Amino acid sequence: MTKYFLQSLRDRREAEFLQLKQGNMSLDEYERKFKQLSRYATHLVNTEPKKARRFELGLCPEIGGIMASHRTTTYSEVLQRAQSISDHLEMDRMTEKSNEFYGKRKWNGPNKGKGFGQFKKANTGSGSRKPNKVIPRCPKCNKAYRGECLFGKNVYYRCGQEGHFAPDCKAYPPKKDLEQG
C-alpha cells in the first residue's frame, strides 16, 4: 500500500472512515463505502468484534437504536440484523405511504378506538350543487355539511332521533332489509 498510495492519501481515507455515517445512504451503499474505506484503517477493524462495532456505530439512528439491544459479535451478524431491520423499516414506510395515497387517516372523533364511525366520509354531497362551491367546515366537529351540527347530542345523524344507532332506526331501515322486501 505504501508503494502505490501516499501517506497523506491514506490518512485522509482513514479520517473519512472514522467519520463515516450511513446518513441518507441505503444500507448497501453504506456497507460498500465501509468496506472500501476500512482498507485504509485495518488496525481499527482487525478483529471481528471491532469491525462489527465500528459498522454499528455508523448506522443511522433508526437502525442503530434497535441494534443496540442486540448483542452481536461478528460483522456478518451485524450486517444481517441491520439488513433485516432496514427491510422492516422500509416496509413500514411503504405501508404508511400507501395509506396516505388511499386517503386513510387516524380517527380523532369522540368515540376514538370504540369502532363507531371510524371509516365514515365527510358528507359533502354531490346533488345538484355547483361543483366549484365549497361547503364550509363546522367549527365544532370539523366536518363539511349543511345544516345543524349534531355532534355530541347523542342522536342518529340520518333521522335526528336520540338514543339509537343505524341498526335500530325505524325511519331508515338497513339496506339489506330493503333488498329482501
The string of DSSP codes covering 156-172 is -TTT--BS--GGG-SSS
User: Is the residue at 41 inside a domain?
Assistant: yes
Residue 44: which domain range? 7-101
User: Is the residue at 162 inside a domain?
Assistant: no
Q: What percent of the chain has pLDDT over 90?
A: 31
Query: Looking at the predicted structure, is the pLDDT value of residue 35 above 60?
Result: yes
Cell of 152: 355530541
Query: Looking at the predicted structure, is the pLDDT value of residue 58 above 90?
Result: yes
What single DSSP character describes residue 144? B
Confirm if 48 and 77 have CB atoms less than 8 A apart.
no
User: Is the residue at 131 inside a domain?
Assistant: no
Torsion of CA 21, 78, 72, 53, to 10 degrees: -30
Residue 86, classified by CB atoms within 10 Å of its CB into exposed (0-12), middle (13-18) or buried (19+), is buried
**Angle separating helix axes 27-38 and 7-18, nearest 10 degrees:** 140
pTM of the model: 0.51
CA–CA separation, 55 and 168 (whole Å): 62
User: Is the residue at 59 inside a domain?
Assistant: yes
Number of structural domains in the chain: 1
Query: Looking at the predicted structure, is the pLDDT value of residue 47 above 70?
Result: yes
